């Protein structure tokens, strides 16, 4: 695409956003409650949030690069980059958070048949259906391919029995994309990828509380759950390839966590520690570690930008998802630790009026961040992926 037509697109996007993005949507989220996840029972924090989603969905810009016939915006990668920079320019909140947008949609586009795409993608793009991810099981975490949830062919339907765990937001989700075992005689080649309506008889969820006090994930039980034959994506026993591709999208997404923190660690430290005679942060050791962290953040941001440019230039960068996942998780965890350290006892509140909203968010955010190096594949497992897939290190050569 020529620079001129990209600039024309920028002008068009800017004008549209000026007109359509409500003022109250041009600030960072005040708290997690303000995030819009959509779904049949989805809640909107405000009328503006609802309007913002409706307008973005109408324009196809909740899923900018998906084809228009599936509810997307039909944009090229370069156009999308322009759109994202325009959204960022006005500080716009994402209109919709969604596992469907981040993880399921991209693999449906690649692996699903036409009926499945037509059925599911537009509902994801409009935020009508909220999805959860049924991968992990009590006995299958890092060794995901060891999963046992059974899926039997009963002629006119599939019959599912088993248990998933750590299913984020299963209690709010309308549908679940799920890995099931369709052949017990082999490991990776006996896995299939199915879609399950959570209102189906025999599906049950039980929330689990996290160390942060929130409970965004669940145990999910399937007892004699019948699903239609057309709910399998890809071929029978061909689910592992789809599962891995989806993980790449998930990892890329997780690695972007935390870049929108409301308070900056330097501001916290200035308030709590104060400045020395030279006008700089009084604690020289903490200052150095904050600087190191800030530089790591910058290096990471520059590298993400470089990867995007390389992807645009046609280089294959998909294998880099694991590297970004490890590095992004480490950064977010480190940032949260530095914030707690800088805040001192202001970070040791749990609830009540003795601590303000930002202080409590530091504490809760710090606890939640510990999951970043676990969810979507642990840091150790992703390092294995980098070593084996990217560097070609294997135990026999």
What are the residues binding ligand FAD (CB under 6 A)? 133-136, 141-142, 166-168, 217, 371, 374-378, 380-381, 384
Binding site partner of 302, from ligand FAD, other proteins, none, Cβ cut-off 5-8 A by kind: other proteins
Binding site partner of 299, from ligand FAD, other proteins, none, Cβ cut-off 5-8 A by kind: other proteins
Q: How many CB atoms lie within 10 A of CB 195?
A: 22
The CA distance from 76 to 1, in Å, is 9
Question: For residue 178, which phi and psi values (nearest 5 degrees)?
Answer: -140, 140
Nearer to other proteins, 180 or 327 (CB): 327
Judged by CB under 8 A, how many residues of this single chain contact other proteins?
41
Shortest distance, position 330 Cβ to other proteins, whole Å: 9
Question: For residue 17, which phi and psi values (nearest 5 degrees)?
Answer: -65, -40
Please identify which of the residues 250, 341, 359, 375 carries the catalytic annotation: 250
Binding site partner of 135, from ligand FAD, other proteins, none, Cβ cut-off 5-8 A by kind: ligand FAD
Shortest distance, position 182 Cβ to ligand FAD, whole Å: 18
Q: Is 250 an annotated catalytic residue?
A: yes
The piece of 12-20, 93-101, 132-140, 294-302 that touches other proteins (CB under 8 A) is 294-302
Shortest distance, position 82 Cβ to ligand FAD, whole Å: 32
The residue within the footprint of other proteins, chosen from 206, 309, 348, 351 (CB under 8 A), is: 309
The CA distance from 369 to 388, in Å, is 27
Closest-approach residue to ligand FAD (CB):
141
The piece of 3-11, 94-102, 116-124, 300-308 that touches other proteins (CB under 8 A) is 300-308
The residue within the footprint of other proteins, chosen from 165, 281, 321, 338 (CB under 8 A), is: 281
Nearer to ligand FAD, 81 or 383 (CB): 383
Residue located via tokens 């709010």: 172
Using CB under 8 A as the binding rule, whether residue 1 contacts other proteins is answered as no
Nearer to other proteins, 229 or 319 (CB): 319
Shortest distance, position 171 Cβ to ligand FAD, whole Å: 12
The residue within the footprint of other proteins, chosen from 327, 329, 338, 361 (CB under 8 A), is: 327
Residues 333-392 that bind other proteins (CB under 8 A): 380, 383-384, 386-388, 390-392
Nearer to other proteins, 261 or 383 (CB): 383
Q: Which residues does the annotation mark as catalytic?
A: 250
Q: Interface residues with other proteins (CB under 8 A)?
A: 266, 269-270, 280-281, 287-288, 290-292, 294-296, 298-300, 302-303, 305-306, 309-310, 313, 320, 323, 326-327, 380, 383-384, 386-388, 390-397
């Amino acid at each position: 695409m020529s620079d001129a037509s990209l600039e024309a697109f920028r002008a068009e996007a800017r004008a549209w956003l000026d007109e359509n993005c409500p003022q109250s949507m041009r600030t960072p989220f005040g708290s997690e409650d303000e995030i819009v996840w959509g779904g049949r029972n989805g809640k909107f924090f405000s009328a503006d949030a609802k309007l913002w989603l409706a307008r973005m969905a109408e324009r196809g810009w909740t899923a900018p690069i998906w084809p228009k016939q599936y509810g997307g915006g039909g944009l090229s990668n370069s156009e999308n980059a322009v759109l994202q920079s325009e959204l960022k320019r006005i500080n716009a909140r994402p209109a919709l958070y969604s596992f469907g947008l981040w993880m399921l949609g991209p693999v449906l586009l690649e692996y699903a048949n036409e009926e499945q795409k037509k059925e599911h993608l537009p509902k994801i793009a409009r935020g009508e259906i909220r999805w959860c991810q049924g991968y992990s099981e009590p006995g299958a975490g890092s060794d995901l391919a060891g999963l046992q949830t059974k899926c039997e062919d009963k002629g006119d339907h599939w019959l599912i029995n088993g248990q998933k765990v750590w299913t984020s937001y299963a209690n709010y989700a309308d549908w679940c994309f799920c890995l099931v075992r369709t052949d017990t005689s082999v490991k990776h080649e006996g896995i299939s990828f199915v879609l399950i309506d959570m209102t189906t008889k025999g599906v049950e969820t039980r929330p689990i509380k996290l160390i942060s006090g929130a409970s965004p994930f669940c145990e999910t039980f399937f007892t004699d759950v019948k699903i239609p034959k057309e709910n399998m994506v890809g071929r029978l026993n061909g689910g592992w390839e789809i599962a891995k591709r989806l993980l790449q999208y998930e990892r890329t997404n997780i690695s972007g966590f935390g870049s929108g923190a409301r308070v900056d660690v330097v501001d916290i430290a200035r308030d709590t520690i104060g400045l020395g005679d030279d006008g700089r942060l009084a604690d020289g050791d903490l200052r150095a570690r904050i600087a190191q962290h800030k530089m790591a953040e910058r290096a990471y941001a520059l590298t993400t930008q470089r990867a995007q440019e390389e992807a645009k230039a046609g280089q294959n960068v998909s294998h880099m998802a694991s590297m970004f996942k490890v590095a992004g998780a480490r950064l977010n965890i480190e940032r949260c630790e530095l914030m707690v350290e800088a805040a001192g006892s202001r970070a040791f509140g749990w609830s009540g009026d003795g601590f303000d909203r930002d202080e409590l968010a530091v504490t809760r955010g710090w606890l939640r961040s510990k999951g970043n190096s676990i969810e979507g594949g642990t840091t150790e497992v992703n390092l294995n992926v980098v070593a084996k897939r990217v560097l070609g290190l294997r135990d026999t050569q």
